[in-house]
Amino acid sequence: TGYVCIDPAFVNTASTTSSITFLDGEKGILRYRGIPIEQLGEKSTFVETSYLLIYGKLPSKSELSRFSTLLTRHSLIHEDMKRFFDGYPSTAHPMAILSAMVLSLSSYYPEAIDVKNTEHLDITIARLLSKVRTIAAFSYKKSIGQPFVYPHNSLSYCANFLNMMFSVPAEPYEIDEDIVKVLNLLLILHADHEQNCSTSTVRLVGSSKANLFASVAAGICALWGPLHGGANQEVVTMLEAIRSDGGDVSKFVKLAKDKTSNFRLMGFGHRVYKNYDPRAVLIKAAADKILAKLGIKDPLLDIAQRLEETALKDPYFVERKLYPNVDFYSGIIYRALGFPTNMFTVMFALGRLPGWIAHWKEMNDDPTGKIGRPRQIYTGENAVDYTPLDERE
Ligand code: CMC
């Protein structure tokens, strides 16, 4: 029509219709395919919730069994991919490795590249969901100099991952069902969150008909940023900084209010939640429970609780409706389970995979879909003549 509206950061713009996730940020409601996350967190598994998000309904017994078998069957990465790990410095951030290796999966499974041919889509989806777990665990093993532990067909999705992360040849990892349950819960709570930055990235990249591996690799890059999934690592770094500074939380709340400080309370605030993030409620309760069960007294949990109390009493946070978000307590649980801080965002990526896949699939299934291509309002020079190099100042 000749004119363009501007909405920086897409604060008010819907980019699509979607039937995957419902979110009411004022009331603090989150539902996947209509089912509240509270129910899924209590009764479902990550594999079942992944099926729900990707295929639109809870699976029947036979559908779930087929889906689980596919995940089990496609858990190995190609042996040649193990050599990737040798090319990275030992200090490499696992998110950098994850994104590059997920993109590289498209070269091992080139049938995924033609997205119009959906014959292999279910296997591509299973490969992605299953192999990311193996890549993540191998990158951790590489970083600490331990041998890779291969996936085991007799183990469930989460137990298999924990085993690949923590077992060593000298001593098998003892599977604790409470730990498996809490890991399922964390992954379920991260599984989708409608048009967030990384999901919008997956959709935008996928709208050019880029394949699923390539689109998700882009999503992993978007997730890494500290304002998005990278916040869970930043939260623990911040809590550690508060502890080594003597533990005065009010000093850091004051600093977060000071606009010149460039410091924000990590794990606080959200674009759409103007109420307590419903995921944070469940994660906080799970943190209390699992730390008690494991007999861990993490001083960071105490600092986090005092920080929350102090911030939520402060008019700055009250007026702006800034509450703890999903990232505030998740790191405390990951620490208790033995995950190093730089793996926290990888865990977010693992959880968010079914959401990215579901959105990519929903978009690809829409025959009316077009390539994403935002407009801009140009603010540069008007027509200017080229100045030869020796005449320039
Ligand atoms: N600490 C201090 N002030 C904050 C914070 C914070 N964590 N978050 C927002 N504000 C202030 C901000 O300065 C602004 O104040 P004013 O109106 O005076 O300019 C106001 O609150 C609104 O903030 P905004 O930056 O305009 O809000 P946004 O919707 O663009 O940003 C956010 C949302 C999550 C990026 C932001 O709240 C933030 O940076 N939080 C810390 C990082 C974080 O925890 N990210 C994880 C988000 S949840 C998981 C995920 O989706 O990835």
Q: Which long-range contacts (CB under 8 A, 24 or more apart) does 359-363 make?
A: 359/18, 359/20, 359/192, 359/199, 359/202, 359/203, 359/206, 360/202, 360/203, 360/206, 360/212, 360/215, 360/216, 361/54, 361/121, 361/125, 362/18, 362/19, 362/20, 363/16, 363/203, 363/206, 363/207
The pTM for the full model equals: 0.96
pLDDT for the residue 313: 97
73 has a pLDDT exceeding 70 = yes
CA of 268 to the centre of ligand 1 (A): 7
Q: What pLDDT band is residue 1 in, cutting at 50, 70 and 90?
A: low
Tokens of 368: 């009316």
Quote the DSSP letter at residue 22. E
Q: Ligand 1 atom 1: the closest Cα is on which residue?
A: 264
Does the beta carbon of 267 lie inside 6 Å of ligand 1? yes
Quote the DSSP letter at residue 391. G
Pocket test for ligand 1, best of 271, 272, 308, 352 (most atoms within 8 A of CB): 271
Quote the CA–CA distance of 283 and 187 in Å, as a whole number.
11
Q: Ligand 1 atom 22: the closest Cα is on which residue?
A: 320
Q: Ligand 1 atom 52: the closest Cα is on which residue?
A: 228
Pocket test for ligand 1, best of 325, 329, 347 (most atoms within 8 A of CB): 325
Q: What is the pLDDT of residues 10-29, one digit of tens each?
A: 999 999 999 999 999 999 99
Q: Which long-range contacts (CB under 8 A, 24 or more apart) does 144-147 make?
A: 145/90
Percent of all residues in the chain with a pLDDT value above 90, rounded to a whole number:
97
Quote the CA–CA distance of 339 and 342 in Å, as a whole number.
8
CA of 173 to the centre of ligand 1 (A): 39
Q: What is the pLDDT of residues 226-270, one digit of tens each?
A: 999 999 999 999 999 999 999 999 999 999 999 999 999 999 999
Does the beta carbon of 274 lie inside 6 Å of ligand 1? no
Does the beta carbon of 329 lie inside 6 Å of ligand 1? no
Q: Ligand 1 atom 47: the closest Cα is on which residue?
A: 228
Q: What is the pLDDT of residues 198-209, one digit of tens each?
A: 999 999 999 999
Tokens of 142: 């590489």
156 has a pLDDT exceeding 60 = yes
Q: What pLDDT band is residue 4 in, cutting at 50, 70 and 90?
A: confident
Question: Which residues belong to the active site?
Answer: 270, 327
Q: ipTM, 2 decimals? A: 0.97
For 115, 205, 276, the CA distances from 139, given in Å and listed in that order, are: 29, 26, 34
Q: What is the pLDDT of residues 303-315, one digit of tens each?
A: 999 999 999 999 9
Q: Which atom of ligand 1 is nearest to the CA of 268?
A: 7
Does the beta carbon of 268 lie inside 6 Å of ligand 1? yes
pLDDT for the residue 172: 85
